[in-house]
Structures are given as C-alpha cells and as structure tokens.
Amino acid sequence: MPISVEIVGTESQEPFGLVYQYFEYVDKTFSTYKTDSEISRINQGLPREQWTDDVVSVLDLCEQTKQQTNGFFDVYHNGVLDPSGLVKGWAINNASQLLRNHGIDNFCVDAGGDMQMSGNNEEGKPWQIGIRNPFNRDENIKVLALTNKGIATSGTAIRGQHIYNPYTPDQELTEVASITVIGPNVFEADRFATAAFAMGKQGVTFIASMKGFEAYMVMSNQMATMSHGFERYVANA
C-alpha cells in the first residue's frame, strides 16, 4: 500500500528514513502475502515459543479488541491468522512515535489512507483530510480539519470484500460501503473501524458510544449517517 510522510519544520532526511525502514520491518514481519513473514510462518505451524515480542504484543491487542467489540473483531478466519485489521494502525502509531522521539511535533503519516496527524500543517493550520466517496474515488464527500488525531476508513471500495462478520462468516458485507472513524490516535481508530464495518449499520452507533471517537458511515444505498459530534471536525462547517 502507498505510504506517505509529511513533516513540517525540518529539512533532515533522517526521520523519513527511520519511518520507512520501520514500515519495511512491519511488512516483513506481518505481511500475509510474503511466505517468509512471521505471520505466514505461524500459519504454517511456527510454535508460539518462537514468536517475536512484537507479534505476541499485536496478537494480545487483537484478543483485547475482540473482547471490546463483542467478538466483531476476529483475526482468525477459517483457521487462518490475519491481524491486518489492527497492524496497520499500530504501525502508523509507532512510526509517529519515532518522529516525536526526534523532537518533531508537526507531521502527518499516511499508510493506505489511515493517518496520524500531529500538530499543524505548513500553514500553521489543522491538517486537511478528505473522505473519499466510495462510489467515486475522485471525489471527496467531506473535508476534515484535524490535529493530534488518528483517522481510519474501512470499506470495500479498494480491496473489495475483505472484512467479514465473525458471526456470519460466509455472508458478504453489503449493507455498508465505508465507515470512517476519528479517534485519539490511528491505532484506536483503525482497530475499531474494522470492527464497526463488520457490525453493519450498527457500527456507527458502536463508535458513537465510545468517548473520544466519531464516525461517518456511507451506506450501500449512498446515504450517509454520522455520530453526533462528527460535524465539529468538518472544515468550514
């Protein structure tokens, strides 16, 4: 997936290198497409005592998320392990911390459309983030003004049917086209966006029930619904 990093206030290339190097490590460890990744080797039978600390930590977080979402977040499908619904946000959040550790306060890290914003953009204003229309990828249906927040979108527009409801695993999810979640950081936004999409039209209600989270859902009939506080993040609203 495409990864972009925008940093305000520094000309050094070192922070960029650190971030991209970290994402390469994450890909080599957690990719379900690389046959030699640790996740692939676990699916091939790698014993738990040989799992690395990061993998153990991520899978513990996956189990915690499963409990917090009443089972709608589940990384095992037909016995195959795939923690992608949590790893991306986790990795972006960790990469963002690398930047903060280098004294960088104003940045945006974007991996596949899930983002962590910190501080302000080069104009000294909150970062402007567009929500794409799942029925027309060239159109933004909302533009948000965000700072020190994470945002993640789950849907079928790019990857097709790749999320499933663990309670009805053989049924395609056709009720919702996309759900965008704003959270205190991208890790939290990403994992709960995945679960909320699996919940169908009830997903926006689930997000709205949690303090510090907002959601914008586009239904398959092209109607949209949002949580009560979402509008305050819309630019020029």
Q: How far is CA 82 from CA 64, 87, 97, 111, 194, in A?
A: 15, 9, 24, 18, 13
Element (H, E) at 186: helix 186-198
Q: What is the pLDDT of residues 89-123, one digit of tens each?
A: 999 999 999 999 999 999 999 998 899 999 999 99
* 211-221: pLDDT as tens digits: 999 999 999 99
pLDDT tens digits along 190-206: 999 999 999 999 999 99
The neighbouring-strand residues paired with 109 are 5, 116
State pLDDT tens for residues 61-83.
999 999 999 999 999 988 999 99
Cα–Cα distance, 83 to 120 (Å, whole number): 31
Which value, in Å, is the radius of gyration of the alpha carbons in the chain?
18
Which residues lie closer than 8 Å to 166 by C-beta, 6 or more apart? 71, 72, 74, 198
- Is residue 200 within 8 Å of 173, Cβ to Cβ? yes
109 and 143 in contact (C-beta within 8 Å)? no
For 48, the token pair is 């738990």
Predicted TM-score (pTM) of the model is 0.93
Domain ranges (residues) in the chain? 3-233
- Mean pLDDT score of the chain: 93
Q: Which CATH architecture has domain 3-233?
A: Roll (3.10)
